[in-house]
């Protein structure tokens, strides 16, 4: 929940509550006064402590050329945390609401992991809001019929009371977050530095943060993205970390092959896990620049 220098926090109201987002304030005062020709939106993924911080090492690089919008999704970061069992439709609808309220024309959207998969569904429902999609490891986490929720840990998380205890003792702690980042999210543990842990911990410890996080862990937000991929018409580029432990690269390639007309690029990144935007931000910036140009043409 650390805001890059030159960016400020604003918010919009959605049916589920206030949604905070971050936009350029005074990075380059003369440039900020002039309305950019286009908006660029960054949407973070899910997991204990997720927030727009996930893209904070990337989106400042585009502030001279675009109006940057990087929201905390409902239930995460500085946005409201309503007490509810979240479903995938909640995020599809709030992504659409956010774009309707902040953008006056179709925009390129950059999104991560399960949120990227939900953004595909939003783009299918409202293609008029999207100019292009640039997605890192888009997965519904139940793709091609696989179900990651069958493990003993997930079944334990589905147990009332125990789920909250597990969240407070094992997820929303500095040690729990660092362990997850080092062993599950990043390809190389040495790339996890204290600021990342601090930002994730601040988000994970917000009041009622456990509701969205546990909905994610239980699998309430998961779905089979393969069922939706053929319906996508918005030009799309996919970046997939080869070392992602949640969904192997083969799944990503199979998903892309379902719709070669819309999926213009599939880039496999060596030595990278689930979130290249945090692990290898310079490479993520270069790829986004490339795809913004090629998808526009």
Q: Tell me how far apart the alpha carbons of residues 24 and 210 are, in angstroms, rounded to a whole number.
A: 30
Helices 113-125 and 88-102: angle between axes, nearest 10 degrees = 70
Residues 272/242, Cβ–Cβ less than 8 Å: yes
pLDDT digits (tens, 9 = 90+) for 163-202: 788 888 888 999 999 999 999 999 999 999 999 999 999 9
Fold assignment, 7-296: Rossmann fold (3.40.50)
pLDDT digits (tens, 9 = 90+) for 200-252: 999 999 999 999 999 998 899 999 999 999 999 999 999 999 999 888 999 99
Residues 158/135, Cβ–Cβ less than 8 Å: no
| pTM, to two decimals | 0.94
pLDDT digits (tens, 9 = 90+) for 106-129: 999 999 999 999 999 999 999 999
Q: What is the pLDDT of residue 160?
A: 67
Q: What angle do CA 254, 154, 183 make, to 5 degrees?
A: 70
Longest CA–CA separation in the chain, Å: 56
């Amino acid at each position: 929940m650390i805001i890059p220098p030159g960016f400020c926090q604003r918010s919009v109201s959605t049916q589920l509550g206030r949604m905070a987002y971050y936009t350029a304030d005074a990075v380059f005062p003369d440039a900020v006064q002039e309305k950019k020709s286009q908006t660029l939106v960054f949407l973070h993924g899910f997991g204990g402590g997720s927030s727009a911080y996930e893209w904070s090492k990337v989106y400042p690089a585009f502030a001279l050329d675009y109006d940057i919008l990087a929201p905390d999704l409902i239930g995460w970061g500085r946005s409201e945390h309503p007490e509810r069992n979240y479903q995938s439709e909640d995020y599809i609808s709030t992504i659409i609401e956010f774009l309707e309220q902040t953008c006056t024309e179709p925009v390129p959207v950059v999104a991560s992991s399960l949120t990227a998969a939900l953004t595909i569904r939003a783009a299918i429902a409202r293609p008029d809001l999207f100019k292009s999609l640039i997605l890192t490891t888009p997965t519904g986490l139940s793709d091609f019929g696989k179900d990651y929720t069958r493990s003993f840990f997930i079944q334990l998380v589905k147990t009332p009371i125990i789920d909250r205890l597990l969240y407070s003792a094992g997820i929303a702690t500095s040690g729990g977050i660092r362990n997850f980042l080092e062993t599950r999210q990043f390809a190389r543990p040495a790339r996890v530095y204290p600021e990342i842990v601090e930002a994730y911990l601040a988000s994970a410890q917000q009041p009622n943060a456990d509701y969205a996080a546990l909905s994610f862990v239980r699998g309430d937000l998961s779905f089979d993205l393969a069922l939706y991929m053929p319906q996508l018409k918005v030009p799309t580029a996919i970046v997939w970390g080869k070392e992602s432990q949640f969904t192997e690269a083969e799944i990503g390639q199979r998903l892309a092959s379902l719709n070669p007309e819309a999926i213009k690029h599939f880039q496999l990144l060596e030595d990278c896990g689930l979130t290249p935007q945090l692990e290898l931000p310079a490479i993520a910036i270069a790829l986004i620049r490339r795809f913004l140009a090629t998808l526009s043409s």
